[in-house]
Amino acid sequence: MSNFGISRKRAKEYIEQYLEKYSGIKEFMSNIVEQTKEKGYVETLYHRRRYVPELKSNNYMVRQFGSRVAMNTPIQGTAADIMKIAMINVYNKLKEKNLKSKIIVQVHDELLIEASLEEEKVVKNILKTEMENVIKLDIPLKAEVSEGFDWYQAK
């Protein structure tokens, strides 16, 4: 059993059904792996490179790891790039408006900001605007903003 409470066989069936339904994804992933083998690296949308020497390994398991890295980097790496740019933009806006609010931590796709009640509304607006407009994609980015007196309450 997996962490999701389903067998490996059932998980494999889900993946196969998904790739059948969205055939372009399978082709995209195969192309990414092949391009990465040729170039030796894969890039994010912002052209940040991740070298993947594992794809040339004699060891099957190491090559499989390299394939997963090659497939995941364009999406996950681009998401990380977008988040870092958004964080810089939020920081700059807070400074530009001479606010006392501060970015406390970034975790995956979340930013935790410590703000006074007086600055709450303007900070929420900055956060939402900067996170949703960091990049123009075919599918718009959406940001949810919540508040609380601690991280637990904000969730």
Blockwise average pLDDT, block size 10, the chain, 155 residues: 77 88 89 96 97 97 96 95 96 97 93 94 96 94 90 80
Crossing angle of helices 120-132 and 78-96, rounded to 10°: 140
Distance CA 97, CA 33 (A): 45
For the 8-78 domain, the top CATH level (class) is mainly alpha
pLDDT at site 12 = 87
pLDDT computed for residue 153 by the predictor? 83
Query: Domain 81-154, what fold?
Result: Alpha-Beta Plaits (3.30.70)
pLDDT of the residue at 2: 54
Give pLDDT, residue 23: 84
**Domain ranges, ordered by start, for the chain:** 8-78, 81-154
Residue 97's φ and ψ, nearest 5 degrees, are -90, 5
Confidence (pLDDT) at 26? 87
Whole-Å CA distances, 134 to 68, 107, 118, 130, 140 = 27, 17, 26, 6, 10
pLDDT of residue 1: 54
Same fold? 8-78, 81-154: no
